[in-house]
Structure 1
């Protein structure tokens, strides 16, 4: 059996982690988060494909790619979570387990962040745990993949 793959997709401005609003997003850089994810994935016998883009269309293309190329998807769509019907539609068409991830608690922030276009079409949501949410999401993805394999 091949090692299950998890796509970890990051949306706009997450390349600025570590310098952008550290009081909200912490001091970890996206590279540091990726390193932690690689370590956790290895411990869980998973492969990861970790990506970041500031472009909505590219993010949507990656969701399409994950649907045929991964066993689970973790998505921090950042600002696109609240605005992108197109991303919602791409996720709705994606048949693998999907986890929405936010570093901050979007429900404790500005009102426009309270509504997510992504939430209705994902398996679950992790928010408000800082960058530790990435590791939590990988743990959840591992359980979802294991459950999926048992049901085959």
Structure 2
């Protein structure tokens, strides 16, 4: 039985491929899900991708991951910069956490430069486009080995 990675996505990521493609690219969240699932399978893992525009639902997804996942890959979107609740939930999760951002948050508006999630993450991948999710799955495979 393979270990499962939960890939959690925050607000507006359901619009990936449609919203600001000059920043986020043309790939959709379904494209990300497919690429990660295929890569994970090659690495002996499985993935479950979840997205919500609601902070509380992301917290609930992290709580579910405590019983269902070996690791979490998270792109919390704007909640990255504002949510102590998501950080607190991640602190209850015992496995590794990798933070992903499609754009380079450090080259954007100053309010995006701080991440609450980084305090919990074993790794942070920024500015690599949607390929950053695949980098995160690869890194997670190493951490779980």
Same fold (TM over 0.5): yes
Q: Which residue of 1 aligns with 2:13?
A: 14
1:25-59 deviation line (CA, Å, top 9, x unaligned): 00001111111111101111111111111010010
Q: Whose radius of gyration is greater, 1 or 2? A: 1
CA distance in 2, matches of 1:3, 1:38: 12
CA distance in 2, matches of 1:89, 1:38: 27
Runs of 4+ in 1 over 4 A off after TM superposition: none
Q: Which residue of 2 aligns with 1:141?
A: 140
Q: Which residue of 2 aligns with 1:49?
A: 48
- The CA RMSD measured in Å over matched residues stands at 0.7
CA distance in 2, matches of 1:81, 1:124: 14
CA distance in 2, matches of 1:124, 1:64: 20
Structure 1 gap ranges (5+): 147-152
Aligned pairs, how many?
A: 145
Q: Which residue of 1 aligns with 2:87?
A: 88
Q: Which residue of 1 aligns with 2:3?
A: 4
Q: Which residue of 2 aligns with 1:29?
A: 28
Q: Equivalences for 1:95-114 in 2 at 5 Å?
A: 95-114=94-113
1:48-93 deviation line (CA, Å, top 9, x unaligned): 1111110100100111111221111000100000010111111112
CA distance in 1, matches of 2:32, 2:88: 28
Structure 2 gap ranges (5+): none
